[in-house]
Structure 1
Amino acid sequence: MFDIGAAELLVIIIVAVLVIGPKDMPHAMRTAGRWIGKVRKVSSHFRTGIDAMVREAELEDMEKKWKEQNEAIMKRSAASAEAASGEPVMTGPPPKPEAPKSVSAESAAPKAASDAVEDVQPEPAPGATESKD
């Protein structure tokens, strides 16, 4: 974007030293560095947002293209299978498998029973005497 060579940079530094002065130069350079950092951060954030929007648009286009190709392939394969067997073939996407259940009722029941067993206090043996101290 900006093409600054060594000669241009040297001229800028000489003019800055003459105008600002060597005493205030470190403060001016620090301030310029902060501003440049802020500009880079904003431009990077902006560029990242634009790139994300472009990627999303490309993905939508690719998904649309893949869906059209998939439908064309499914129609061709259904037509060829129907022609080979003479019977109509069911077309469309395959059924989705069910999601596994996290905890079933059968696995929860034994756990509840074992929790109940832990709460029971053992009974003293017959004939045992309790000592009262």
Structure 2
Amino acid sequence: MFDVAPTELLVLGAVALMVIPPKDLPKAMRVAGYWVGRARGVARQFRSGFDSMLRDAELQEMEKRWAEENARIMREHPPTPAMLMSPAPGDLVEQPALPVMTEKPVVSPAPEPEPIQAMDAASKPAPKLRAKRTPKPKPDKVDP
């Protein structure tokens, strides 16, 4: 829609360099970039709103067509009284029977836990001792 060719950008840059002093050019470019960004944001918001309105209109049209098709099918194939009285497809499936216990289970007492024996000091490994690190002394600076 608003197409800007590279040659047009060069002409615009040359005119801006003649009109705006070089020391103020970065500030002018920042302001121009800010306003271009704001314009793009407004255009993006407008486009997203327009797209959502189109999606809603299409959805309503599809729902209307679906309702018309459903009404046509119901007119052509009306439900019979037998269909209205028949159980739902899920009702025809039998529920699995619960398991039946035939014999009483035998329950025996749990075995006694063995007492915990104290470990000998000799069988226990000795912890490793780590030597503390001491920082290396820094050499003194000698001024000539």
Aligned to 1:3: 3
- How many Å separate the matches in 2 of 1:74 and 1:8? 64
Segments of structure 1 that go 5 or more residues without pairing to the other structure are 96-133
Q: What code does the residue aligned with 1:8 have?
A: E
Aligned to 2:48: 48
State the structure with bigger RCO (CA 8 A, min sep 6), 1 or 2: 1
TM-score (norm 2): 0.54
Q: What code does the residue aligned with 2:70 have?
A: N
Aligned to 2:57: 57
1:6-45 matches, within 5 Å, as 6-45=6-45
1:1-133 matches, within 5 Å, as 1-78=1-78
Segments of structure 2 that go 5 or more residues without pairing to the other structure are 89-144
- How many Å separate the matches in 1 of 2:49 and 2:76? 41
TM-score (norm 1): 0.58
Identity of aligned residues (%): 48
Aligned length: 85
- 1:2 counterpart SS class: coil
Aligned to 1:107: none
CA RMSD of aligned residues (A): 2.1
Q: What code does the residue aligned with 2:67 have?
A: K
Question: Offset of 1:67 from its aligned partner?
Answer: 0.5
Aligned to 2:141: none
Aligned to 2:94: none
- How many Å separate the matches in 2 of 1:57 and 1:2? 29
Question: Offset of 1:89 from its aligned partner?
Answer: 6.3
Q: What code does the residue aligned with 2:14 have?
A: I
